[in-house]
Structure 1
Amino acid sequence: MNARIDHLVTSGTFSLDGGTWDVDNNVWIVGDDTEAIVIDAAHDADAILAALDGRALRAIVCTHAHDDHIDAAPALAAATGARILLHPADQPLWKNTHPDHSPDGDLADGQVLTIAGVDLHVLHTPGHAPGAVCLYVPELGTVFSGDTLFQGGPGATGRSFSDFPTIIDSIRDKLLTLPAETVVRTGHGDTTTIGAEAPHLEEWISRGH
């Protein structure tokens, strides 16, 4: 198995519900020396293209459709011919950012995407956004959590299209059931592990009420 994970951080803004914030986003690339998948084309298509370094881009996978995670997706798709994949429940959020450009395909719970000989298992994890997904890659011992789970707790649920009890259910049922040693690669900030976060579930629940 020659598959590896490459990582870059891009900077831009996140806008929703009339507010705008400066953000740094994690962009994850899974692949080998010839082909790759990009998880969350955030802010800077040129920087992502440079990180791909000539590899064939097979897909642009969106963990959800907040603008900071998808703003560079159409430009990256145009430059590479890659398909943009999004869970259909996030179409309303997508249209807020890209009203004239639709994703090329749907993501669904249980779907498997294969790149460089490894399988990325799609986990539908609504809460932060209705169509939020995580991508579990058992061969690489990792899950790409988007903004569903961070080091220290769940993603934010204080804005439109989000719901705290739903994200707690998603984390409990879809993520904390993964092996404890699974590395959680997040949409923003530092990585963590399932084992490090699992003991705090009840604390998050009490904090959210």
Structure 2
Amino acid sequence: MGAEGRARIERLVTSGTFSLDGGTWDVDNNVWIVGDDAEAIVIDPAHDAGAVADAVGDRTVTAVLLTHGHDDHIRHAREFADKVGAPVLLHPADLMLWDAVYPGTAPDAEIADGEVFSVAGSELVAIHTPGHSPGSVCFRAESLGTVFTGDTLFQGGPGATGRSYSDFPTIIESIRTRLLTLPGDTEVNTGHGDSTTVGAEAPHLQEWIARGH
């Protein structure tokens, strides 16, 4: 139990589907667990609540943070939160996406830009990054040299903006002003696929803009 008090990052990959605008796609999602041997925060417990609960084990989950409201990220969040007795938090600009999955209910709390979530001696700061969805949020853990970007920034470029509630100029502005301003060695832990760094992605901003028009 020597790791108590020193937060670490664990990734679990789960598989399922994403549905929006009448289409359904198979997807693999990254579930991020940040904490120590005693407590943890879970980001986007997708697809398999049981597997995520097994990965957490007997740790206290202080919060379930959702990077955005697409159904692959939230459909099993309530089930997982109930298993571990934790609150589910979502930015209010994505409540219409929440309502599509959980009609007549609400998340336990809202995420505000700049809000700080503490776990195992580390802090995660919420960064509102609209574009992929209106309420997309990234979480920066400065002490861990990491930002969790959900579906806002991936290895190779911005998240998709071709579906409802998304907007390409908005996601580019979010990435340019809120993420690429972070130190270049900041690790970018994404909602799908491999991690990258701010420094690896920043030089390609103009290419993304050209590609997106």
Say if 1:27 and 1:38, in contact at 8 Å, map to a contact too: yes
Within 2, Cα distance between the matches of 1:38 and 1:174?
22
RMSD over aligned Cα atoms: 0.7
- TM-score normalised by the chain length of structure 2: 0.97
Picking from 46, 50, 57, the partner of 2:50 is 46
Counterpart residue identity of residue 175, structure 1: L
2:89 corresponds to: 85
Identity %: 66
Aligned residues: 209
d(CA) in 2 for partners of 1:49, 1:43: 12
In the alignment, structure 1 residue 13 sits paired with structure 2 residue 17: yes
Amino acid of the structure 1 residue aligned with 2:86? A
Question: d(CA) in 1 for partners of 2:128 and 2:179?
Answer: 10
- 1:61-115 residue CA offsets vs partner (Å, 9 max, x unmatched): 0000000001111111111110000000000011111114320001011111101
Gaps in structure 2 of 5+ consecutive residues: none
Whole-angstrom distance in 2 between the partners of 1:79 and 1:200:
42
Instruction: Spell out, residue by residue over 1:35-71, the C-alpha distance to the aligned partner (whole angstroms, 9 max, x if none).
Output: 0000001000000000001101111000000000011
Task: Tell me, yes or no, if structure 1 residue 176 matches structure 2 residue 184.
Answer: no
Matches of 1:75 and 1:34 in 2, distance apart?
21
Distance in 2 separating the partners of 1:65 and 1:40? 10
Q: Distance in 1 between matches of 2:83 and 2:206?
A: 45
Q: TM-score, normalised by structure 1?
A: 0.99
- What residue identity is the alignment partner of 2:183? P
Q: Which residue of 2 aligns with 1:200?
A: 204
Alignment match, 1:127:
131
1:4 paired residue among 1, 8, 30:
8
* Secondary structure at 1:109 match in 2: coil
Does structure 2 conserve the Cα–Cα contact (< 8 Å) formed by 1:87 and 1:133? yes
Runs of 4+ more than 4 Å apart: none
Amino acid paired to 2:93: A
User: Counterpart of 1:190 in 2: which secondary structure?
Assistant: coil
Counterpart position of 1:64? 68
Alignment-mate amino acid for residue 193 of structure 2: G
Q: Is the 8 A contact 1:74 1:101 kept in 2?
A: no
Greater shift after overlay, 149-158 or 76-85?
Answer: 76-85
For 1:103 and 1:80, locate their aligned partners in 2 and report how far apart those are by CA, in whole Å: 15
C-alpha distance in structure 2 between counterparts of 1:44 and 1:101, whole Å: 21
User: Map of 1:67-146 to 2, 5 A cutoff?
Assistant: 67-146=71-150
Alpha-carbon distance in 2 for matches of 1:192, 1:107: 25
**Secondary structure in structure 1 of the residue aligned to 2:148:** strand
Give the letter for the 1:110 counterpart.
Answer: G
Structure 1 residues 145-183: Cα deviation after superposition (integer angstroms, max 9, x where no partner): 000000000000000000000000000000000000000
Which residue matches 1:191? 195
